[in-house]
């Protein structure tokens, strides 16, 4: 597995990380704890060194699974986790008060069975707490050795700049894929200017870009995609044009749509590290194949030209979650 460095931070990770959320949260019932631990350790065997979790996934149970799985090989991996929701529950709203950040850090260290958090993200920007106070608190945790790097998630350009001035931001985690390209407008240029790495979550469009989901796919009652507008039956049908485009490229390259989608992301910038998730070993191996698939300038130009003709239908978040996306007009 090739390695990449997140921005100017010096934090080296595998070119593709592993998004752990779906192991037991978000997309249905997930898999058993034993299966999840086995899969995470298999990912390390295949060269993955970057694992992403959060207290809110479960809540709390995902961190515990990751901690148990990676404890025997802790010195070989980079673990990212997150703070920012009241009591770790998204439904309760945001909470990035300094005292809460410290509480989360201590609890996460215990669940992750480690003495330091490699990358500590603010899960969502809390408009009631100045970002300078958030960055300052993480800066103190770094000085104490409990955290090594500071990250933000779904933050606007203004928030990124304010935070970075207090404590250098190692990475921004936000949604980015052929299914959602808004970061190209302002976020990517800002990150490049400041030397901040980018960690796209949902790099496969929450599974849509794999080609395994169409308008007839039945989603489980506890699958978060049931509440996402772009996953309504009508929008899945309309958005299938993008899947058809990727599938055509994949066929020409003797690859899969997922591999093309991931290779496209990796080709955008050398400091981009996607974190696809899965619950299946064959799918893990398939995803990692995206790191070795080379898309030529002609391939990329063809994708760009064809994608420009496709308009994605449906919002990427339901209204209840959209309110947690950082407002770029916030002062």
Judge whether 42 and 30 are in contact, CB under 8 Å. Answer: no
Residue 176 known to be catalytic: no
Judge whether 231 and 173 are in contact, CB under 8 Å. Answer: no
User: Would you state the structure tokens that stand for residue 247, as one six-digit string?
Assistant: 């599938």
CA pseudo-torsion sign 48, 61, 30, 218? negative
CA pseudo-torsion sign 247, 250, 251, 257? negative
d(CA 92, CA 202): 23
Judge whether 259 and 68 are in contact, CB under 8 Å. Answer: no
Cβ-based neighbours of 290, under 8 Å, separated by 6 or more:
16, 255, 258, 259, 260, 261, 262, 263, 266
Question: Which one of the listed residues 57, 121, 176, 324 is annotated catalytic?
Answer: 57
Phi and psi at 147, nearest 5°, equal -130, 150
Return the active site residues. 57
């Amino acid at each position: 597995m090739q390695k990449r460095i997140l921005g100017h931070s010096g934090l080296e990770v595998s070119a593709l990380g592993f998004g752990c959320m779906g192991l037991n949260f978000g997309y249905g019932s997930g898999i058993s704890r034993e299966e999840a631990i086995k899969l995470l350790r298999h990912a390390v065997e295949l060269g993955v060194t970057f694992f992403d979790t959060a207290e809110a996934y479960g809540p709390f149970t995902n961190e515990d699974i990751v901690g148990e799985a990676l404890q025997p090989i802790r010195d070989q991996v980079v673990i990212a986790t997150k703070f920012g929701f009241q009591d770790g529950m998204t439904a309760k709203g945001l909470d990035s008060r300094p005292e809460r950040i410290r509480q989360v850090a201590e609890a996460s260290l215990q669940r992750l069975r480690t003495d330091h958090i490699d990358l500590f993200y603010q899960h969502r920007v809390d408009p009631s707490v100045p970002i300078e106070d958030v960055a300052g608190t993480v800066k103190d945790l770094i000085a104490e050795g409990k955290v090594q790097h500071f990250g933000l998630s779904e933050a606007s350009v203004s928030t990124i700049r304010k935070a970075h001035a207090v404590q250098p931001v190692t990475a921004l985690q936000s949604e980015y894929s052929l299914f959602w390209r808004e970061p190209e407008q302002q976020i990517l240029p800002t990150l490049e200017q400041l030397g901040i790495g980018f960690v796209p979550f949902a790099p496969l469009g929450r599974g849509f870009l794999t080609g395994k989901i169409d308008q007839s796919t039945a989603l489980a009652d506890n699958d978060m995609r049931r509440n996402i507008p772009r996953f309504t039956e009508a929008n899945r049908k309309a958005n299938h044009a993008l899947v058809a485009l990727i599938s055509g490229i994949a066929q020409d390259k003797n690859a899969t749509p997922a591999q093309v989608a991931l290779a496209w992301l990796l080709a955008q910038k050398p400091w981009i590290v996607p974190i696809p998730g899965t619950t299946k070993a064959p799918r893990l191996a398939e995803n990692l194949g995206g790191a070795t698939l080379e898309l030529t300038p002609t391939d990329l130009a063809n994708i760009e030209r064809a994608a420009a003709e496709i308009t994605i239908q449906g919002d990427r978040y339901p209204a209840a979650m959209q309110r947690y996306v950082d407002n770029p007009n916030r002062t």
